[in-house]
Amino acid sequence: MNYYTGYELLWLFFIYSFGGWVLETISATLKQRKFANRGLVNGPFCVLYGLTAIAMTVGLQELRGIWLFIFATVYATVAEWVSGHLIEKAFKARWWDYSNIKWNLDGYICLPASLFWGVLGYLAVRWCNGVTLILLHILPKLLMHIVLLTLIGVLFVDIFGSFMLLTGKSKKPERWIATDAGMDKISTKIAGKIAGSLEKRLKKAYPKARKIEEEIREENEEKVFAKGCDFYKIVMLFMIGAFLGDITETIFCRVTAGVWMSRSSVVWGPFSIVWGLAIALVTALLYKYKDKGDRFLFLTGTLLGGAYEYFCSVFTELVFGKVFWDYSKIPFNLGGRINLLYCFFWGIAAVVWFKILFPPVEKWIEKIPAVAGKLLTWFLLVFMVCNILVSCVALVRYDERGNGVQATNVVQKWVDVHYDDAKMKKIYPNAKGIN
């Protein structure tokens, strides 16, 4: 497995963001027969392309042939689907709509587009990354570092400014542009031009973009806790999913292997982060589709679950230097990271979750008093963040001890005392080094 540096990944992000902007702009210009500057920011970047390319670069580098194409298609489709929902939620608008194309899902994604993204992803991971990095390392390092820092600064300002304007905060743009009271008049004029320019550009670039009408409902927040699919409900579902996932896997190991075995992802308590994130993410993504048929939920759960588990396997191996599960001995596996049977389990879990478990769990969460629920949510969130941080430090030190690295600072010595090899082996019995 290749280990890309942060420097290389940042350059790939900007290169693919620019490439995506070129592709989108050319496509829109040809359709509209006039120049259309695509993208959600003013600069020549489509950040969705860059982020998706990075996810594929890190997560799919081991794959070849048809598997690389399939997973690239799934990753790109999920990215487009998620970004469509987020843009709609943040800006109350759609920037693309596939409703007139066959095999679409609510206009967010469609089969022809997904297959096209899959081809681009295949080409990027298989060939473009290698060629790009070769060219990158030929150029002067100092110059490239300066250019990269400049690009990061420009993109940050661009994204921040575009977000402030698009979310309606451009009514008084001098608040975020003005840095000196004496420059208020000039800043206001410049900001007004920027706001007008951005609004006109987006209308030209996305002529089919339409505003999403929202139902205006006045709810008494003191009486209703975690209504719909909000932040508090997602956090509570994460905690519930993490706990139930750990218990389920522990019982499954007892039934199939005949032994009681820790399946926890963290050092404090029986919690599986993989399951917790899975429950939280699938609920956030599929909440508006929860009433669809079993076949839709099963297929979607199978694809998303397989892609998610594969990415988690690669991520944990790269970050912690450990393999936490290996399906090499199970038929129809892919690199030992996932297998067909367990992908079907993800699909079944999606159906069981939305059709059986989620309705009563949702009602139970919403019955919690608002004030107590919010306090409990933040307490659990802080606890789990600390739990994950300590677990990450312990796992990194566990890998260092395996490579013969001696403790040289207070943190390392503290970890060696409280989380030695014996304790870590008990918590993570299946963890194996990759060296």
**Confidence category of residue 97, pLDDT binned at 50, 70, 90:** confident
Model confidence at 214: pLDDT above 50: no
When pLDDT is averaged across residues 147-164 and rounded to a whole number, the result is 76
Which of 98, 125, 129, 127 is CA-nearest to residue 114?
A: 98
Both tokens assigned to 145: 């570092």
Q: What is the pLDDT of residue 183?
A: 35
Residue 192 in any domain: the answer is yes
DSSP for 156-212, written as a single string: HHHHHHHHHHHTTGGGSTHHHH--SGGGHHHHHHHHHHHHHHHHHHHHHH-TT-EEP
Residue 21 in any domain: the answer is yes
The three-point CA angle 12-15-21 to 5° equals 135
Residue 360 in any domain: the answer is no
Q: What is the pLDDT of residue 40?
A: 56
Q: What is the pLDDT of residue 184?
A: 37
Residue 416 in any domain: the answer is no
- Other Cβ atoms closer than 10 A to 268: 14
Residue 122 in any domain: the answer is yes
Instruction: Name the H helices within 258-331.
Output: 273-286, 294-320
| Rounded Cα gap, residues 85 and 76, in angstroms | 14
When pLDDT is averaged across residues 215-229 and rounded to a whole number, the result is 59
Residue 28 in any domain: the answer is yes
**Number of folded domains in the chain?**
1
Residue 364 in any domain: the answer is no
When pLDDT is averaged across residues 366-375 and rounded to a whole number, the result is 90
Q: What is the pLDDT of residue 136?
A: 86
Domain that holds residue 147: 6-200
Q: What is the pLDDT of residue 110?
A: 92
**Confidence category of residue 343, pLDDT binned at 50, 70, 90:** very high
